[in-house]
Amino acid sequence: MGLLADVYEMLNTCNKCGSCHTACKTYKVDGAETRVARGRVQLIKAVADGNLDPNDPVYEDAIMSCLVCGECALACPSGVHANELVMVARRDLKLRKGIHPFAKSFALKTLADPQKLDRGFKLFRGMGKSTLEKIDGMEFFRGIDIKNMPVAKKAFLEQVPERITVAHPKHKVAFYVGCFLNQSLDGTAHSVVKVLTKNDSDVIIPKDQVCCGLPQYAYGDYETAKVNARKTIKTFLDNNRDAEVVLTACGSCASMLKEEYLKLFADEPAFLPKVKEFSDKVVEFSQYMAQIGVDKSQLHNSIPTKVTYHDPCHMVRGLHITEQPRQMLKILPRVEFVEMNEANRCCGASGLVQAFYHEISTKITREKTSNIKDTEADVVATTCPACMLRLQSGISLAGQDQKVMHVADLMAQAYQD
């Protein structure tokens, strides 16, 4: 039974009522029972009972196509967290099979290694992007707008000093940048720093940052995830103890650093106190700004803007942060905030799911972009870089003209230099 023995009771808790059908985005795409929480739970139970070969391609498709968005858990009257069961099943499958298929393994190894990731982005920003643009039909690769995908001319960590100080600091923040803000959305990383310094915060930006380990963790490679987690804890806790908080502007990274590290090291009780000490210092950007209070005296917007907000899965169901980003948007002058229908539903990104199950992701994103269009907003704000890239691609693919921005970008724009 392997690892599945640990969750066998929850597998048996599913009463097969089908309430999850109303919540599951992947099920709504094609109506396959193997792509809804109830079906996935039954397949995992079949493997646990020895009635299904874990190498069966139907089983692997079921657990790998899951968005792990957590929406099914909210809909389940029996309290089954199918998303957590899928995570255990992925880990169990990784231990049984040892390695992932080449493409997925290559992607996970690249993300885990900052040097490989940097080389990959340098290649992409050099000849890779222009080459793809010239290939017929490659404007939208697996639902991603290749032509307009932002790529930093130089990684953010190479652009800034390790410490940025203000004249009269009230706070000291260590900024965990994350892969996408570092390599793709560097402008947003600068926005974060600008908002922090405008609100009297010294900012520490350690140069030896690595991926938080979420991609590897999500696909059962706990060993690699632990290596990066240890590096992150050492960098931000041991080497920068003078920082009051460890701040990140990525909801997914925040969830991993604050919540999942504790689960990742659950089998190492001697190390857990340090993990908890670190996790207790982690705070998401909008949450922190709401916590310290924003200096509104310098805020100014010359152009009126209608803004809506998309809740990233890791923010709304992982960290339960929903009001703070909206609060930040509503304090901005000349910004009209309008709520989106199903703002808290998955946009279809879900890490590597969008790459390996792009047909599913594209249809889910289409629903989200339709909801965005209905708001008649000029800007879609969010707090997750992966969602930003996915949403902007979906909007472009739909022929719409909304701009996707991080909450930090809108706030920084409102501060006059």
Q: Is the pTM of this model over 0.85?
A: yes
Taking the CA atoms of residue 218, residue 221, residue 226 and residue 227 in that order, the dihedral angle to the nearest 10 degrees is -120
φ and ψ of 415, to 5 deg: -95, 120
Q: In the prediction, which pLDDT does 44 show?
A: 96
Smallest CA-to-CA distance from 159 within 186, 138, 178 is with: 186
> Which residues sit opposite 283 in a β-bridge?
247
Residue 101: the pLDDT is 66
* pLDDT for res 102: 60
Tokens representing residue 121 in the block: 């982005």
pLDDT digits (tens, 9 = 90+) for 284-343: 999 999 999 998 888 987 778 999 999 999 999 999 999 999 999 999 999 999 999 999
- Domains defined along the chain, listed by start: 2-97 (1.10.1060.10), 296-414 (3.40.50.1860)
The CA-atom distances, in angstroms, between 60 and each of 26, 188, 304, 359 are 15, 36, 49, 17
Structure tokens at 268: 């190492």
State the 10-residue block means of pLDDT for the chain, 417 residues long.
Answer: 86 93 90 94 95 93 92 93 94 83 71 77 64 52 67 92 95 96 96 96 96 93 95 92 95 97 96 97 98 89 89 95 97 95 92 82 93 97 94 91 96 85
- The answer to whether residues 182 and 189 touch, using CB atoms and an 8 Å cutoff, is yes
The reported pLDDT for the residue numbered 113 is: 77
Crossing angle (nearest 10°) for helices 114-123 and 102-112: 110
Q: What pLDDT shows up at residue 404?
A: 97
Q: How far apart are CA 172 and CA 256, in angstroms?
A: 22
Yes or no: say if 384 and 132 are a contact pair by the CB < 8 Å rule: no
Local structure of residue 269 (DSSP, 8 states): T
Give me the percent of the chain exceeding a pLDDT of 70. Answer: 92
- Please tell me the predicted confidence (pLDDT) of residue 132: 56
pLDDT digits (tens, 9 = 90+) for 90-108: 999 998 887 666 667 777 7
pLDDT at position 21: 93
Q: What is the pLDDT of residue 138?
A: 46
With left for phi above 0 and alpha for psi between -120 and 50, is residue 382 left, alpha or beta? beta
